[in-house]
């Protein structure tokens, strides 16, 4: 009876309660994401250069049309695509190989899995510092190793020219992104029931056939999630560029993230910067949707 009274003394409705509970979090998110997003849209429709105060005016879609007819948008876009595709490919392939290894039972597996968290925990800026040292043209470890093993005959500036700067940028970036992808793929692998493999072995399937016809299709949902997330991250790359290459040499690594940064915070053109940032956001979103639809279809088949 007591409980009957307690419920009769009706508390708030579930909706009101939800509002009450989530209010602090929702307010913080709204204040720092939704409001700035609205303002970014507003800025992108204006001429807004801090170097020319008092001349702010509404220009409609002019900033956007300017970018779309400017090689300063298309060239960084192509660089971003190149970087993202290479980085995602490297991350996925290596993460898949490591996760297959960690899916085997062997003494020391847990230790290896835990140590994967070392690169993961390294902030991207420190990672850039680390690789700047490893790739140092005069004293870097990479030069030393390549030289000792006879791969190169003299020390080189790996970050000084294309294509080597792009390759090393991708390697440095991937190094801290591989662990998480590995852990996610590993969790995907562990959901595949072992008896499927056993019956395949009975049927005489080779290891390669088992990978191709069992592992890969069953891993596909997790694989597609990882590809989408890594793609979104790679498109937003900025930190490592800031420290390692500053967009150079000669714009070779000038990705959209770097272009937005220089446009906005060096040239102080907030209108142009906002509009190109919007374009980057739209492209990222479009890719995410495209991948989702495309990869999801693959799962159904």
Partner 1 sequence: MKQRARLRLAAIYVAAALVLAGTVGPFLWLVSSSFQYERQLLNRPPQWLPNPIVLDSYREIFEGAVMGEDSGVPYQSRIFLRSFANSFYVAGSVAVIAVMAGAYAAYPLARLRFRGRQVLLFAILASRLIPALSLAIPIVLVAKRIGMSDKIVSLVFINLSFILPYVIWLLQSYFKTIPMELEDAGRIDGCSRLQVVHKIILPLSLPGLTSAAILAFLLTWGEFLFALLLSESPTSYTSTVVVSLFATDVDVSFVSIITAGVLSVIPPICFALIFQRYIISGLLSGSLKG
Q: Are 298 and 220 in contact (CB under 8 A)?
A: yes
Q: Spell out the alpha helix ranges (H) of 53-158.
A: 62-68, 71-102, 109-115, 117-121, 124-134, 141-148
For the bound state, the minimum distance from the C-beta of residue 32 to partner 1, rounded and expressed in Å, comes to 3
The four Cα atoms 76, 80, 83, 88 give a dihedral, to 10 degrees, of: 180
Shortest CB 163 distance to partner 1, Å: 22
Which span sits near partner 1 by CB under 8 A: 19-27, 64-72, 160-168, 292-300? 19-27
Does position 301 interact with partner 1 (CB under 8 A)? The reply is no
Please give the residues from 205 up to 224 whose contact with partner 1 meets the rule CB under 8 A: none
Q: Of 1, 60, 139, 203, which lies in the binding site for partner 1, with binding defined by CB under 8 A?
A: 139
| Cis peptide bond upstream of 249, omega within 30 | yes
| Candidate list 59, 89, 122, 189; residue touching partner 1; CB under 8 A | 122
Our CB check for partner 1 shows the closer of 84 and 134 to be 134
Q: C-alpha angle with apex 115: 111 to 117, nearest 5 degrees?
A: 135
Interaction pattern, residues 81-120, with partner 1; x per rule: CB under 8 A = -----------------x--x--x-x-x---xxxxxxxxx
**Contact code string over 30-59 relative to partner 1, x by CB under 8 A:** -xxxxxxx-xx-xx----------------
Instruction: Determine which residue in the list 189, 205, 232, 295 makes contact with partner 1, applying CB under 8 A.
Output: 232
Smaller CB separation from partner 1, 34 or 212: 34
* Residue choice 58, 74, 238, 292 for contact with partner 1 (CB under 8 A): 238
Contact 133, 126 (CB under 8 A): no
β-sheet bridge partners, residue 57: 47
Residue 123 interacts with partner 1 (CB under 8 A)? Answer: yes
Q: Does 135 bind partner 1 (CB under 8 A)?
A: no
Minimum CB separation from partner 1 for residue 69, in Å? Answer: 21
Q: Please provide the distance, in angstroms rounded to a whole number, between the alpha carbons at the two ends of the chain.
A: 56
For the bound state, the minimum distance from the C-beta of residue 52 to partner 1, rounded and expressed in Å, comes to 15
* Cα radius of gyration (the chain): 25
In whole angstroms, what is the distance from residue 154 CA to residue 135 CA?
Answer: 14
CA-based max dimension of the chain = 89
* Residues 237, 255 contacting (CB under 8 angstroms): yes
Report the site for partner 1 in 157-176 (rule: CB under 8 A). 175
Give just the sign of the alpha carbon dihedral 247, 175, 280, 227. positive
> Tokens at residue 3, please?
């409980």
Which of 275, 289, 297 lies closest to 58, judged by CA? Answer: 275
For residues 38 and 163, which CB has a smaller minimum distance to partner 1 in the complex?
Answer: 38
Q: Give 2 or 69: the residue with its C-beta nearer to partner 1.
A: 2
Q: Determine the angle formed by the axes of helices 164-189 and 216-235, rounding to 10 degrees.
A: 140
Nearest CB to partner 1, comparing residues 69 and 149: 149
Residue 46 pairs in a beta bridge with 58
Site for partner 1 in 174-203 (CB under 8 A): 175, 179-180, 183-184, 187
- 229: contact with partner 1 by CB under 8 A: yes
Which of 212, 216, 285, 299 touches partner 1 by CB under 8 A? 285
């Amino acid at each position: 009876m007591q409980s009957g009274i307690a419920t009769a003394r009706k508390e708030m409705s579930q909706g009101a309660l939800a509002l009450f509970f989530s209010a602090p979090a929702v307010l913080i998110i709204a204040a720092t994401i939704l409001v700035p997003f609205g303002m970014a849209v507003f800025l992108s429709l204006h001429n807004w250069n801090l170097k020319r105060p008092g001349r702010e005016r509404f220009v409609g879609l002019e900033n956007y049309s300017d970018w779309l007819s400017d090689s300063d948008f298309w060239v960084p876009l192509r660089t971003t695509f190149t970087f993202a595709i290479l980085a995602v490919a490297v991350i996925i392939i290596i993460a898949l190989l490591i996760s297959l290894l960690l899916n085997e039972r062997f003494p020391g597996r847990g230790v290896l899995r835990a140590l994967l968290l070392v690169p993961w925990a390294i902030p991207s800026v420190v990672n850039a510092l680390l690789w700047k040292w490893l790739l140092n043209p005069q004293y870097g470890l990479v030069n030393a190793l390549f030289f000792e093993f006879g791969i190169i005959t003299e020390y080189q500036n790996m970050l000084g020219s294309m294509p080597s700067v792009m390759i090393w940028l991708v390697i440095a970036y991937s190094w801290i992104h591989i662990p998480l992808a590995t852990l996610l793929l590993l969790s995907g692998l562990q959901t595949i029931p072992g008896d499927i493999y056993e019956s395949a072995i009975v049927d005489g399937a080779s290891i390669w056939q088992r990978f191709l016809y069992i592992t890969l299709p069953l891993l596909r949902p997790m694989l597609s999630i990882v590809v989408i997330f890594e793609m979104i991250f790679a498109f937003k790359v900025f930190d490592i560029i800031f420290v390692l290459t500053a967009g150079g040499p000669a714009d070779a690594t000038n990705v959209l993230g770097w272009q937005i940064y220089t446009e906005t915070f060096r040239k102080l053109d907030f209108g142009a910067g906002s509009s190109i940032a919007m374009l980057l956001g739209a492209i990222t979103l479009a890719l995410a949707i495209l991948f989702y639809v495309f990869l999801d279809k693959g799962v159904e088949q």
